Amino acid sequence: MILYNSATRKREEFVPNHPDIVKMYTCGPTVYHYAHIGNLRSYIMEDILDRYLRYAGYNLKRVMNITDVGHLTSDADEGEDKMLKGARREHKTVMEIAQFYTDAFFSDCEKLGIRRPDVVEPATNCIDEYIKIITKLLDTGYAYLAGGNVYFDTSKLERYYIFNDFNAEDLDVGVREGVEEDTNKRNKNDFVLWFTKSKFEDQALKWDSPWGVGYPGWHIECSGISMKHLGDDLDIHCGGIDNAFPHHTNEIAQSESYLGHKWCNYWMHVYHLNTTGGKMSKSKGEFLTVSLLEEKGYDPRAYRLFCLQSHYRKSLVFSWENLDNAQTTYNKLIAKIAALKSDDGAVDNDAYAALRQKFCAALDNDLNTSLAVTALYDVLKAKTNDATKLYTLADFDSVLSLDLIAKADIKREELKKEALAAGSFTVLSESGESDAAIEAQILARQEAKKAKNFAEADRIRDELKAQGIEVTDIPHGAKWRRI
Ligand code: AMP
Ligand code: ZN
């Protein structure tokens, strides 16, 4: 499998560190508000990597943090804790906010077919881990105390700017909202490991530490949580592109200084979802959520399909028109699958293996999800029986997670009910046999005709013909025969 590694800026063969386990870490949400669909693009693409590694036979252990403390309004450690802002906005406690938005996040994930990582750890659970790491960094001279806070000293490193060649626009988001600079820092890029002093004295959650009562910085949580659950090394670390700097740069700095060796081998960054007006952001107030998509009548899986249709290393522009197109494509895909019949023989293993090869080749190529989606159409067009097609589609969907089979079952039932309710339209076969899949196709053709979509009606008739089925219209119905 080839993955693009943002740390080396190269496409590399993926080789795990250990023969028996793959260790993956994903930066989780800051739970002061709902996740917007931009955040969720990152989680969808990371979910594809998670699912595909398992599909390819790796024994994956995936860990994700929940940021419930320490993420300030600027990623450069300045400003106020986002959690506190959220709590004030809603007249609730920080822990109430954290619980509410953590639940909301996982509910969105479920709707989008995103698997829950094996370990989900709130940052507030691991204070001892951070204290252990910070203590050693101070002892070994990588950290210093100033103005009551503990800072990481970036001048002690030979190489700090691992990810700094991203374009200026991507880096800008790391220092958003123009907050004042911290004069305690010895070097511009030094960052806070532990706060005891802050301009915002009403910080809600504080813990005792060797440096006084305070709270951890944002970056230390990901190093601490990863090491707690995955040990001293890591195969793959994921996050959105805005996390590359300063967050991931700082994670590498502190982790490798603490461990004394290389920490993580592969870094995967998902590029942003933008609106036509620019980057989508929680701090802008109005933003798009999964619930909003649902209220407007979209299926969250159509949004997932929209994301899969483009590569994770390209920014993606969201518009309602683009989502409409994805929803239409999704509906058509489901209708085609609904027309397949499951009981037409045994699964042809050779046909399955050939189709699978193409699917894997797409994902092995740095997660080319749009080609993996195309592989679904290859299945539908393949010269094999429907049982093989359904088996292969279900298999691919264990990675793509578009809920294809269950939705097709629902669609099939709907078509039957509609036909019954209409009453007047009957489907007969000349031989007297009954075939649910053929009947469903004929009913879909009738629906298209009713909607005056004659091109679609003709397409279905041609498709049936290609399957060796001839349809003739009769008063109040249609009859079919095998030719
Ligand atoms: P946050 O909840 O702000 O900590 O962000 C959660 C995840 O979403 C991080 O991995 C971010 O890098 C990512 N992210 C933030 N904005 C976007 C966006 N517009 N498109 C894609 N990913 C994003
Ligand atoms: Zn992180």
Ligand 1 in reach of 268 Cβ (< 6 A): no
Most confident region among 168-172, 396-400, 451-455 by mean pLDDT = 396-400
| Residue 117: both structure tokens together | 């990582």
Atom of ligand 1 nearest to the CA of 274: 19
Instruction: Give the residue among 17, 38, 42 at the shortest CA–CA distance from 286.
Output: 38
- Phi-psi map region of 26: left, alpha, beta (phi>0 left; psi -120 to 50 alpha): beta
Give the position of tokens 């590569």: 311
- The separation between CA 66 and the C-alpha centre of its own chain, rounded to angstroms, equals 15
Compute CA distances 395 → 55, 119, 209, 324, whole Å: 9, 25, 51, 27
**Torsion, CA 131, CA 132, CA 137, CA 140, rounded to 10:** 140
**Residue 175, pLDDT score:** 44
Indicate whether 198 pLDDT > 70: no
The CA distances from residue 296 to 22, 300, 411, in Å, are 40, 11, 20
List, for residues 432-466, the tens digit of each pLDDT value. Answer: 777 888 988 998 998 898 888 999 999 999 999 99
pLDDT at 80: 74
Other beta carbons within 10 angstroms of residue 101's beta carbon come to 22
The per-residue pLDDT for 286 is 64
Q: Which residue has the higher pLDDT, 283 or 385?
A: 385
DSSP assigned state of 112: T
Q: Is 59 helix (H, G, I), strand (E, B) or coil?
A: coil
What span, in angstroms and rounded, lies between the C-alpha atoms of 332 and 338?
Answer: 10
Instruction: Please tell me the residue having the least CA distance from ligand 1 atom 3.
Output: 30
Q: Which of 35-44, 172-181, 281-290, 341-350 has the lowest mean pLDDT?
A: 172-181
pTM score, two decimals?
0.85
Note the pLDDT tens digit of each residue in 321-351. Answer: 999 999 999 999 999 999 998 778 899 999 9
Cβ of 117 below 6 Å from ligand 1: no
- In the predicted model, what is the mean pLDDT of the chain? 90
**Which one of 34, 40, 42 would you pick to mutate in the ligand 1 pocket, going by the greatest count of ligand atoms within 8 A of its CB?**
42
The dihedral over CA atoms of 68, 69, 74, 78, expressed in degrees to the nearest 10, equals 170
In the structure, ligand 2 is a single-atom ion and the residues with CB under 5 Å from it are: 27, 222
Q: Which of 23, 61, 60, 28 is nearest to 234 (CA)?
A: 23
Tell whether omega for the bond before 246 is within 30 degrees of 0, i.e. cis. Answer: yes
Is 42 touching ligand 1 by the criterion CB < 6 Å?
A: yes
Q: Provide the 8-state DSSP code for 19.
A: S
Determine contact, residues 142/153, Cβ cutoff 8 Å. Answer: yes
467 to 41, 111, 238, 443, 477: CA distances (angstroms): 38, 35, 45, 16, 20
